[in-house]
Amino acid sequence: MAAKQTRERILETSLALFNAQGEPNVTTNHIADELGISPGNLYYHFRNKEDIVAHVFARYEARMDQTLVVPEDRLPDLEDVWLQLHLVFECMWDYRFLYRDLVDILSRNRKLKAHFARILDRAATSAADVLKGLAAAGIVRATPDEIRATAENILVVATFWLNFNIVRTARPETDQEDLTRGIYQVMLLIAPFLRDIERAHLNTLAQAYR
């Protein structure tokens, strides 16, 4: 197996184990075992577990950055919002280990914390830009304070939706159906600002998410 291939497989297997068992419960020995390679081989590619976490995080960050792009050539519409939310929640799901132990992981690593804060800044700007765009298109009616506060609330609901489901339900873990409900919950943050026609449409769509 070529070195590059091994490196890639270590990152993929680490992500799968982090998601399945929780990052704090996975050691480099678990990862090497799962791959059927020696710990020495693993340490040839990565200094330690934090190094692996940092590389997995870099991929998460690159993907989230892509999903947060707002169309610049035209005003956004509600279809754009649905699509973007699906992309964001899918990215969160693929890297759910991060959200599951967010405070713990970020408090151990100052650099990751700064990077995550940057993503949140970018997401807040993106959400506010979309709301301003919807307001400019006459679809949304909201004051600047309301837009700012709603952008923050979108961030809170999206960031902690997986954990909310864990503590809200008797089931130990969350699944993709919960994720779809998360998208719906974020849309409902926007609903009351909409014109009556779009608001009624959203309420109709809501039936599918209950």
Residues that bind a second copy (CB under 8 A): 100-104, 106-107, 113-114, 116-117, 120, 142-143, 145-146, 149-150, 152-153, 155-157, 159-161, 163-164, 166-170, 172, 184-185, 188-189, 191-193, 203, 206-207, 210
Q: Toward a second copy, which CB reaches closer, 46 or 161?
A: 161
Q: Whole-number minimum distance, CB 32 to a second copy, in Å? A: 26
| Gap between the Cα atoms of 126 and 67, Å rounded | 10
- CB-wise, 47 or 168, nearer to a second copy? 168
What are the DSSP calls for 196-208, one per residue?
Answer: HHHHHHHHHHHGG
Residue 52 or 105 with smaller CB distance to a second copy: 105
The DSSP call for residue 71 is P
In the complex, the smallest distance separating the C-beta of residue 106 from a second copy, rounded to whole angstroms, is 6
Q: Find the shortest distance in angstroms from Cβ 77 to a second copy.
A: 19
The total number of residues shown for the chain amounts to 210
Torsion from C-alpha of 98, 99, 105, 110, nearest 10 degrees: 90
Q: Which two tokens stand for residue 173?
A: 């873990």
Integer Cα distance of 72 and 70 in angstroms: 6
State in angstroms the smallest separation of the CB of 67 from a second copy: 18
